[in-house]
Structure 1
Amino acid sequence: MATDPSPQIPMRASSKSSNNSIHPVDVETPPVRTPTPIIYREIKHFKKWIPWLVPAFVVANTVMFIITMYVNNCPKNSVSCVADFLGRFSFQPFKENPLLGPSSATLLKMGALHVKEVVDGDQGWRLITCNWLHGGVFHLLANMLSLLVIGIRLEREFGFIRVGLIYIISGFGGSLMSALFLQSNISVGASGALFGILGSMLSELITNWTIYANKVASFVTLLVIIAVNLAVGILPHVDNFAHIGGFLTGFLLGFVFLIRPQFGWVSQRYAPPGHSSSARPKFKKYQCILWAVSLILVIVGLSLGLIMLLRGVNANDHCSWCHYLSCVPTSRWSCNTEPAYCSSTQLGSQVNVTCSTNGRTTTYFLPGASSSQIQSLCSQQCS
């Protein structure tokens, strides 16, 4: 007779007048093995950072602008000011500075980039300090809002050290190209560093191409943003050479600082014990090639540019069409942004100011006119 293969459970029966029931006999049951909990570790190559450096840059630029306006002291050094209720923090007249900011003389005093001072005055530090100054409230707001939007995202992904290096070095690269092409004007602003961040975002997408989803859409969107911003640079009074120099520097630095290991290598490195798989390289070959080439180009490019600048080379002499990259003249505006020069005569309270550029002469009644006040009148006269 066939036997029942099911396990036999001992039973015991009890009979009572009021109730008949059957109970299983108490037996020892083997302990249930609970599965080992899976411990998830944060992969350092893809960890999320808390962004603090980019907001610190915004605060530093804002503080520098406030200090610049304090030094400017428009009521003392100019005939008229905008927003007089701000006292010494009031702005220069719109004709002199439409960005709501200080005078050119104040910016130069605070560290604006001027080629003559760098070459003849041995003031190379201006290549760095000019990135922390701004021409006005509008200039400051545009740069800082853009920096917050794109900089925080990049710092969250790659950390403050890499983003900080890209920001500083790109700003220097932008100043260098500006000094080589725009040698008669002063230049200020964080636009070169900002375009360096944009450039690094583009190269980061390229070098880490294989690990991204929707890469084509991201690439096209980023190209459109960069093209629009560079196109704005062809307007007058915008230093597009700083934009281009900063962008190229940041683009190359992105291949150096923002390279990520491949997912295959990461999966292998963080695999549980006992897991075996074929060894995979940390980086793709094309990533290593781009890293080496970009590092060489950055070092050679910045070094060569600095040597050319200190030797007094004017890059426009070697490129007759390059000036169109910064400003394209039309019937609506002129690209002549030469600094204002005037001749003045003073008889008592009467001051005659003649602009050397357009020959316009105006008489002002200004008792005890100072040189800074006359320079302010000259800027308005030639604008």
Structure 2
Amino acid sequence: MKQHRPYFMYAVTLAQLALVILSFAVNKDMTGEFIQTQPSLNYMIGPAAGPLIRMGARFVPCIRTVPTYTSNSSMTYLPYCPTGVTTPCKLADVCGFDGKADQWFRFIVPIFLHGGIVHFIFNAAFQLRTGVSMERDFGPWRIGIIYMASGIAGFVFGANFNVLSVSVGSSGALYGLLACLLLDLFQNWSLIQRPWIELLKMSVVVIISLSIGLLPFIDNFAHLGGFFTGILSGLIFMPTITFGKWDKRRKRILMVLAIPAIIVIFVLLFVSFYSGRDANCSWCKYLDCIPVMGWCDDLTS
């Protein structure tokens, strides 16, 4: 296979590093400290939720009206203010920009934001170790489309379940790449040395990543949305090796079926989100947060 230069992964990682550094400055401006230490230390060595929202984190009230939070006309101030935002607060104080609940770019910008140095190091390690290798094989355009589609779908999917949670990071996009690795394993099973061992390794990575997703700012729903989007986009954009006419026909059929499937999924995700009919799931937040140290009781956890 032709080897490509990994421009996309290097550019994305540098942009994410720059925004991590910028987030310290924003946190300093809003709270007087470079990292969050009050009311508790941000274990990822990074900013509080308020500065992350101000920078473009996914926070549903900044994207559309949320009943009981922003739509009560008799309420001058918001009932809850994210950590780092001065109380009492209004929507403009929390969201910044134009202060209106129509900031659709919050499904894209969070891919480049992180909850702190630790969060960034984990994601950057995977991008530079695995993502760069994949881009050398796939090319920047293919890997870029898979990466961004998985990241966006992950944030939209999570927004349907966790309305008042703050979410940042490229984990959804990276889960899309992980899904492509799994797809590549199954499509080229006969070429892989010890394929069962490779499958076991990937399974362990998925389990560990979902466990890390229980921590604040990291959205397991974004992981799931990114993973399934990665499978479909991988069927469409990944270069493939064929083993005879039937195998070639089978892979072409899967590619053709994946095109309308991914379009329908994106349409359904956005229609569900903007309809305002949030998933009635009182326990869903516990898939994203460890119920200790008060994290799950905080609006921003």
Q: 1:234, 1:106 → 2: CA distance?
A: 21
Q: Which of 325, 334, 339 in structure 1 is aligned with 2:287?
A: 325
**Corresponding position: 1:171 with 2:171:** no
1:286 aligns to what?
250
Distance 1:139 1:293, change over 3 A: same
Q: Which stretch of structure 1 is more off in the superposition, 213-222 or 238-247?
A: 213-222
Q: Counterpart in 2 of 1:251?
A: 231
**8 Å Cα contact 1:204/1:255 also seen in 2:** no
Deviation string 1:47-105 (CA, Å, 9 cap, x unpaired) is 22222221111101011222222233x2x5435x3xxxxxxxx3232615232222322
> Compared with structure 1, are the counterparts of its residues 103 and 224 closer, same or farther at alpha carbon in structure 2 (3 Å cutoff)?
closer
Which of 1, 11, 30 is 1:56 aligned to?
11
- Tell whether the 8 Å contact from 2:162 to 2:284 is kept in structure 1 after alignment: no
Task: Give, in whole Å, the separation in 2 of the partners of 1:158 and 1:183.
Answer: 35
SS at match of 2:168: coil
Q: Is the 8 A contact 2:57 2:166 kept in 1?
A: yes
Give matches, 1:71-110, under 5 Å. 71-72=26-27, 74=28, 76-78=29-31, 81=33, 90-93=34-37, 95-110=40-55
Counterpart-to-counterpart distance in 1, 2:212 and 2:24: 27
Q: What RMSD over aligned residues (CA atoms) do the two structures have, in Å?
A: 2.5
Q: What's the TM-score, normalizing by structure 2? A: 0.79
User: Partner residue of 2:75?
Assistant: none
User: Do structure 1's residue 339 and structure 2's residue 299 form an aligned pair?
Assistant: yes
Which residue pairs with 2:164 in the alignment? 184
Note the alpha carbon deviations across 1:298-333, whole angstroms, 9 max, x for none.
111111011111111212x1x56644533464xx56
Q: Give the deviation of 1:338 after TM superposition.
A: 3.2
Determine the C-alpha separation between the residues in 2 that align with 1:70 and 1:327: 27
The AA in structure 2 aligned to 1:47 is: K
**Under a length normalisation based on structure 1, what TM-score does the superposition of the two structures give?**
0.63
Give how far 1:213 is off: 4.2
Unaligned runs of 5+ in 1: 1-45, 82-89, 265-280, 341-382
Instruction: Report the 3-state secondary structure (helix = DSSP H, G, I; strand = E; otherwise coil) of the residue aligned with 1:65.
Output: helix
Is 1:69 matched up with 2:24? yes
Q: Offset of 1:113 from its aligned partner?
A: 0.7
Bigger radius of gyration:
1
The one-letter amino acid paired with 1:135 is: G
Question: How does 1:108-127 map onto structure 2 within 5 Å?
Answer: 108-120=53-65, 121-127=101-107
Structure 1 segment 18-33 matched on structure 2, within 5 A: none
| Larger relative helix fraction | 2
2:296 is paired with a residue whose SS is: coil
CA contact (8 A) 2:176 2:230 kept: yes
Matching residue of 1:295: 259
Deviation at 1:164, TM superposition (A): 0.7
Indicate the residue corresponding to 1:19 in structure 2. Answer: none
* Distance change >3 Å, CA 245–CA 159, structure 1 → 2: same
Paired with 1:226 and 1:125, the residues of 2 have a C-alpha distance of 28
Greater relative contact order (Cα < 8 A, sep 6+): 2
Cα deviation, residue 220, structure 1:
2.7
Matched residue, 1:305: 269
The answer as to whether partners of 1:198 and 1:247 remain within 8 angstroms in 2 is yes
The code of the aligned residue for 2:178 comes to: L
The answer on whether the counterparts of 2:167 and 2:217 sit within 8 Å (CA) in structure 1 is no
